[in-house]
Structures are given as C-alpha cells and as structure tokens.
Structure 1
C-alpha cells in the first residue's frame, strides 16, 4: 500500500468527470481515476467505448452525467474536445483541468468567459502536491 501522508484525504470530496477515461492502466486517465479514488474524490469516467472503468459506470458522453460536477479533468486532445465544448460548459463545473496534451485555448477561453476556471496542469501532480 502506498503512503501519501496527510494529503490523502481532500478537504471536501469532489465529483470529477474524467473526460477520456480509459481502462488501460498505462494511460494517465486511468492513473488519475485511481488517484482520485485514493484521495477520496468521486471520479466519473466518460468515454463512449466502455461500459465501466475500475468498476465504475462509464458514461458515453459528458451530457449523460447526472447531478453536479465540481471538476472536469480533460484527457482528450484538442481535435477530440473541440466538438464537446458546449456539453462540457453545460455541466457548469467549477474548473476544467487541461492535462498535458489536452490543452484547448478555445475551450479555456469559453470556460473563463462564463466563470469556469481553466487550469493547465497535471491532475496527478496537483493531487500529489496538495494543490488539488
């Protein structure tokens, strides 16, 4: 078992959409799902290719995710996230984390314009360093 010190439990658990979630353990989206669970958050996988990831129901689109969303952590390149901008913004998360390789200036600009914080960072690093 990995020891993470006192940072392992968040101040308040978040509902986190993992856009581009994957069951492949080599993918950072999968590592993020595991680490979000480890830190007490509720990851919500979104990927049309899978029924479930890590035993958690996987939604076909972000528009299907029920209830409030605190954070969207993005693991899709710009070409794949561009058509999803309206659906991402409609979830009204507090912030969108653009993981390395998932930067999208258009989405970031649109998010900021409606009060959603765009964050260019790595979810794994944010969690590990207590900055999440």
Structure 2
C-alpha cells in the first residue's frame, strides 16, 4: 500500500534535490508541466525535459526517455496519464533512480506502491511547485 511522505520528509528531500527529470514536459507555456518546471528552474533547479519528438524545452536539451538522460537524476517529476505510470516506474526501478514525484491529479496507487517497495521515495497527487513553495521558501 502506498504511503505519502510527511511534510517534514518532503521538505528534507526537496532540500537535497538539484536535478529534476520532467517526464512529459510540454514546450507549450500554457501547460502545467511548463509552468511548474519554469518556476522550479527559476528557483535554481536544473530541469531535464523527457519528451520524445522535441529537441529542447526551457532552453534545455530534451531526451526521449529516462534511460537517455546523461548524468545523475535526483528526482523524476511526472506529467503523464496515470495509465502510463507503470512503464515510468519500471524505468525508475531499472535505472535505480532515487525519487519519483507524481503530479497533482495523477493517481496510480499500485504503481506508486511498487516504486516504494523497490526503494524509491515517492510523492503522489501533489504539485511539486506548490509543495516546494509551501515547505521550503
């Protein structure tokens, strides 16, 4: 069963994160993924877009999959349909990624629980930007 981390755990983890891979980051400035990622970027985080068929978003090179992202990923932030979470969790497990943030409105309890069981720190159905603003600023 999925367990949401406490506010304290979220705050402590967010203070350690510097590089965020954003799965589903849209190049459209009106989309939530763009607005959230742009704000996180302004707050000093390195944003790594993970979206096939685009070359860059927010002046950062885009990658077709998590496996293609070079270097360390501190957090995977997901802006995809809940039905796609199982594949994303599979990738996170295979790549031994430490943390997964599933954005507000995206709920897949079994995928989140599976990620936690594999040792991945998970937040689900919360907005990264809102929580960072609330807990860390």
- TM-score, normalization by structure 1: 0.82
Specify the alignment match of 1:124 in structure 2. 129
2:40 maps to 1:49: no
2:109 maps to 1:105: yes
Q: CA deviation at 1:101?
A: 2.6
Q: How many residues align?
A: 123
How far, CA to CA, are the matches of 1:86 and 1:108 in structure 2?
11
Contact 1:13 1:40 in 2 (8 A): no
1:59 to 36, 56, 63: 63
Specify the alignment match of 1:5 in structure 2. none
Structure number with higher relative contact order (C-alpha < 8 Å, ≥ 6 residues apart): 2
Query: Unaligned regions of 5+ residues in structure 1, if any?
Result: 1-9
Specify the alignment match of 2:43 in structure 1. 39
After superposition, the C-alpha distances for 1:85-124 in whole angstroms (9 at most, x for unaligned) are 3212223333211112322222211211121111121111
How far, CA to CA, are the matches of 2:116 and 2:17 in structure 1?
23
Query: Unaligned regions of 5+ residues in structure 2, if any?
Result: 1-13
